Homo-oligomer: A and B are copies of this chain.
Amino acid sequence: MFIAMNRFQVAKGSEEEFEQVWAERDSQLDKVAGFVEFHLLRGPEAEDHTLFASHTIWKDRAAFEDWTKSEAFRRAHAGAGSRKALYLGHPQFEGFEVVLEGN
């Protein structure tokens, strides 16, 4: 199992608009091989931003990487750069392999 997270430092006051953009997007992820589950997470607040993270579970790293090279990925991210900037800097990507599960 592989978890792909993208961390966004969302400008204070833009949190609801940021959530709205995600709620309204048409990801088509459910049609992608190896996709398991998506969550948008709201994390701790800092002085100038609120941390958000997209959190996508994949069967394995290969499934995620195949998706990033696909036409579906390109379409899902078209226009992302042309929207009003709701977050500071660039999203920070982190990919995680599950090494233990249970309790």
Contacts and interface: CB of A to CB of B under 8 A. Distances in A.
Contacts of A78: none
A103 B38 contact: yes
Contacts of A81: none
A43 B94 contact: yes
A40 interface: yes
Contacts of A40: 98-101
A75 to B, nearest CB: 14
A39 interface: yes
Contact of A23 (B35, B52, B53, B100): B100
- Closest CB pairs A-B (n = 8): A41-B96, A40-B100, A29-B103, A30-B103, A43-B96, A42-B97, A42-B99, A39-B101
Interface of A: 1, 3, 19, 22-23, 27-30, 35, 37-44, 51-53, 55, 94-103
